[in-house]
Amino acid sequence: METGYFQNPRRFPKNAEGPFYTTGHRSCGDDLMNGKTGWFGDCLACEAPELEAPELLAVLDNENSDTYFVRQPSTQDEIDEACSAASVCCVAALRYGGRDRTIISKLGNDPGLCDYIIDDRGNLVATLDEEGNLLPFAVRLIEIQRSEWRKRNKKWYQFWL
Q: Which residues bind ligand SF4 (CB under 6 A)?
A: 43-46, 48-49, 89-91, 93
CA distances, 75 to each of 56, 85, 106, 110 (Å)? 11, 15, 15, 22
Using a 10 angstrom Cβ sphere, with 0-12 exposed, 13-18 middle and 19 or more buried, the burial of residue 159 is exposed
| CB of 124 vs ligand SF4, minimal distance in Å | 27
Residue 16 or 45 with smaller CB distance to ligand SF4: 45
CB 111 to ligand SF4: min, Å = 18
Closest contact distance (angstroms) between CB of 80 and ligand SF4 is 18
Q: How far is the CB of 54 from ligand SF4 (least distance, A)?
A: 14
20, β-bridge pairs:
96
- Kindly give the pairing relationship between strand 116-118 and strand 124-126: antiparallel
Residue with nearest beta carbon to ligand SF4: 46
Please identify, using beta-carbon distances, which residue of 137 and 149 lies nearer to ligand SF4: 149
Between 67 and 127, name the residue whose CB sits nearer to ligand SF4.
67
Give the dihedral sign, CA 101/73/2/41: positive
Residue among 95, 107, 27, 94 nearest 67 (CA): 94
**Residue among 3 and 90 whose Cβ is closer to ligand SF4:** 90
Would you say 90 or 121 has its CB closer to ligand SF4? 90
Q: What distance lies between CA 36 and its chain's CA centroid? A: 24
Angle at the Cα of 51 from the Cα atoms of 47 and 55, rounded to 5 degrees:
115
Minimum distance, C-beta of residue 91 to ligand SF4, in the bound complex (Å): 4
